[in-house]
Amino acid sequence: MGIYFNPSNQSFTKDKNSQIYVDKTGLIEYLNRVISTNANCISVSHARRFGKSHAAGMIDAYYSRGCDSYELFKDTEIATKDNFKKYMNQYNVIHLDIASFWDDYKDNLLSILNTRKGGMAIYGGVIGAFITLFVYSRIKKCSPYQIGDCGVFGLVLGQIIGRWGNFFNREVFGQYTDSLFAMRLPVDAIRVKDISESHLAGMEAMGAVNFIQVQPTFLYEGIGNVVVLTLMYVCHKKKKYQGQMCLFYLGGYGIVRFFVEGIRTDQLLIPGTQLPVSQMLGIVMFVGAVVANAVILYCLKKKKQA
């Protein structure tokens, strides 16, 4: 797509390892001087072959939270400056490659709206489903909680099936591992931005093909969701109120996602922190569901005693 959040330093690594490399890290020294001033909005524009793509890759590598670039820059001009480490890999970086983006969609602009090819996250789908449920129930004058208790079984089952799509797409995996569940992937079949330093450190070659070994996080999440679905099925006949299975799903999926997100390589971080958005949202869902369930059960108990 040409759109990357917290890109890796692979682009600059290739440039620096090339036979012809010119140290242009003096540009970073200038950026560091103005980064916290009113002059921090900068546009770099020049004729072709000036090296804008190289400069963009260098800036990604230096500022992005998605990589550790100390070894890459330690022998460059910027390393001699006092503020060399102060700003390195401390920022959430958005890399927009407009040229490649236009190439993807110039022949069919409506394909931008084709969410089946990406652009949606499960949380957005779940939120949209619950909003639709409440709107529909209000119009039809029926209980959204009763319908929700039925619908969440299909929802979690769909997530179990959907995670295998990540397997076939060779995406949504974790850091390097040599454990029993390690999955081996050919490097040329993976998006560069998903390859971390730990992957490269453990990379192995078989013939002319380089492979990395990863944590199959989609498998972990799929198994976790099977456990959630099983517990929901066992407990649904003993539920105490309408909507309890919805809370069971939100809490169960939330805690599964909390643990799995911690080892994924494609994390989207909360700005200014090292905390993954999905991991924090997962724990909020779990705690919220547990607290809501406890409060509702307490109220029902008090009502029964009254």
Contact by Cβ (8 Å): 236, 261: no
pLDDT at 1: 43
For tokens 């012809």, name the residue: 20
pLDDT in tens, 219-256: 999 999 999 999 999 999 899 999 999 999 999 999 99
CA distances from 288 to 136, 152, 221, 242, 291 (A): 24, 17, 20, 17, 5
Q: What is the pTM of this model?
A: 0.61
pLDDT in tens, 76-120: 999 998 888 898 998 888 887 766 666 667 777 777 677 666 556
Lowest mean pLDDT among 59-63, 101-105, 250-254, 283-287: 101-105
Segment (H or E) for 183: strand 183-186
Pairwise CA distance, residues 46 & 66, whole Å: 28
- For the cut 60, the answer to whether the pLDDT of residue 263 exceeds it is yes
Residue 165 sits at the vertex; the CA angle it makes with 163 and 167, to the nearest 5 degrees, is 85
Pairwise CA distance, residues 151 & 128, whole Å: 13
pLDDT in tens, 6-16: 888 888 888 88
pLDDT at 170: 78
pLDDT at 2: 47
Pairwise CA distance, residues 294 & 306, whole Å: 18
pLDDT grade, residue 27 (50/70/90)? confident
Pairwise CA distance, residues 9 & 64, whole Å: 8
pLDDT in tens, 132-189: 999 999 999 999 999 999 999 999 999 999 888 888 877 788 888 888 888 888 887 7
Q: At 222, which amino acid appears?
A: G
Q: Number of C-alpha atoms within 13 angstroms, CB side, residue 290?
A: 10
> What number of other Cβ atoms are within 10 A of residue 249's Cβ?
25
